[in-house]
Amino acid sequence: MDSVETLNSSPINAGTDGAGSGQILANVATISRTAVPPVFTHYNVAPVIDVFGNVDGRDLGGVLHDIQPLVNQANKDLPRGSFIVLRGQAETMHNSFVGLGVGLVMAIALIYLLLVVNFQSWLDPFIIITALPGALSGVVWALFLSQTTLSVPALMGAIMSMGVATANSVLVVSFARDNLRRGMEPIAAALDAGVSRIRPVLMTAAAMLIGMLPMSLGLGEGGEQNAPLGRAVIGGLFVATIATLLFVPVVFSFMHHKIAERKAADDAAAGALPIPNPTT
């Protein structure tokens, strides 16, 4: 049937015994054209209208940044009881970023608490994790210079770089603590620790950087998916190594110098107190 007229002229069987009644469809029914959705979908029981969008040549975050103002404007004109929700890859990306962000903060907190248990001190673990802001800033700079968007592999690379940066910082601070026990001044202990531990710190960082270099180039089929991880590790570890060898010893010497001054002042004050007369 190629037209509505042909359908209207179709004979129908209105009898229950199979005998024809001589009627056509136009005598018992009215056919009209209308527009209805071809597919009915539901989400959480509620009926929805899906509007699909494909991203081509741009990152998903940049597209969402442009779409969100349009969605906010459209929400103002919606009837009561209707709303617009961004789902699909946008929702998945948001949940992944939130989860990895929380994981990043929890990783720093767990590292600090583990170091507190190991060093039996609250100060030295704080000095150790002062290298982590350098690692995070290195990740940001590496992604910016390579024109790489922030993604789940990049955040995983940031967590990896923080682990290696913490290990190198522990090496320097542990050696500086040993120098303090030998009677060295805080400044001299920190300087000697930075100079003495420069070779193992550089060897550890260089091994990690060289290992991540092929991944950061994104060569081969599908290599661009893991390239942000390698770039994040390279940038974070490069800046964290500089912070470990330069910034961490400075913080160590400053903190322990203040503690030594306070202890000397307390000892002087205790020595200046009058000795009470013994009672009989």
* 198-215 tens-digit pLDDT: 888 888 888 888 888 888
What average pLDDT score do residues 220-240 get? 84
Note the pLDDT of residue 280.
44
Residues 6+ apart with CB under 8 A from 14: 21, 23, 28
**C-alpha to C-alpha distances, 227 to 141, 207, 232, 238, 279, nearest whole angstrom:** 15, 18, 9, 17, 79
What's at 74, amino acid-wise? Answer: A
Q: Where in the chain is the domain with CATH 1.20.1640.10?
A: 89-271
Q: What is the pLDDT of residues 102-120, one digit of tens each?
A: 888 888 888 888 888 888 8
Query: Does residue 279 carry a pLDDT above 70?
Result: no
DSSP readout, the chain?
--SHHHHHT-EE---TTS---SEEHHHH---------S--EEETTEEE--------SS-HHHHHHHHHHHHHHHHTTPPTT------THHHHHHHHHHHHHHHHHHHHHHHHHHHHHHHT-SHHHHHHGGGHHHHHHHHHHHHHHTT----HHHHHHHHHHHHHHHHHHHHHHHHHHHHHHTT--HHHHHHHHHHHTHHHHHHHHHHHHHHHHHHHHT-STTHHHHHHHHHHHHHHHHHHHHIIIIIHHHHHHHHHHHHHHHHHHHHHHHHHSPPPPPP-
pLDDT of residue 38: 79
pTM of the entire predicted model: 0.66
pLDDT band, very low/low/confident/very high, at 53 (cuts 50, 70, 90): confident
Q: What is the pLDDT of residue 263?
A: 75
Q: How far apart are CA 258 and CA 187, in angstroms?
A: 11
Q: What is the pLDDT of residues 63-90, one digit of tens each?
A: 888 888 888 888 888 888 888 888 888 8
Contact 143, 238 (CB under 8 A): no
Closest CA to 211 of 237, 230, 235: 230
pLDDT of residue 271: 63
| Overall residue count recorded for the chain in this entry | 280
Highest mean pLDDT among 59-63, 70-74, 137-141: 137-141
Q: What is the pLDDT of residue 150?
A: 80
Give the amino acid at 111: I
**Token pair recorded at residue 251:** 């913080």
Is 270's pLDDT higher than 70?
no
Please give the distance of CA 79 from its chain centroid, rounded to a whole number. 37
Does domain 89-271 bear CATH number 1.20.1640.10?
yes
145 compared with 220, residue with greater pLDDT? 145
% of the chain at pLDDT higher than 90: 0
**Per-residue confidence (pLDDT) for residue 118, from 0 to 100:** 82
Task: Tell me which residue of 213, 262, 256, 253 sits closest to 233, measured CA to CA.
Answer: 213
Q: Which pLDDT belongs to residue 277?
A: 54
**The two structure tokens encoding residue 226:** 């893991």
Q: What percent of the chain has pLDDT over 70?
A: 91
| Total Cβ atoms within 10 A of residue 141 | 14
* Average pLDDT estimate for 139-164: 85
pLDDT at 136 over 80: yes
Find which of 6-20, 48-62, 114-128 is predicted with most confidence, using mean pLDDT: 114-128
How many Cα atoms occupy the beta-carbon half-sphere of 51 within 13 Å?
5
Q: How far apart are CA 193 and CA 148, in angstroms?
A: 36
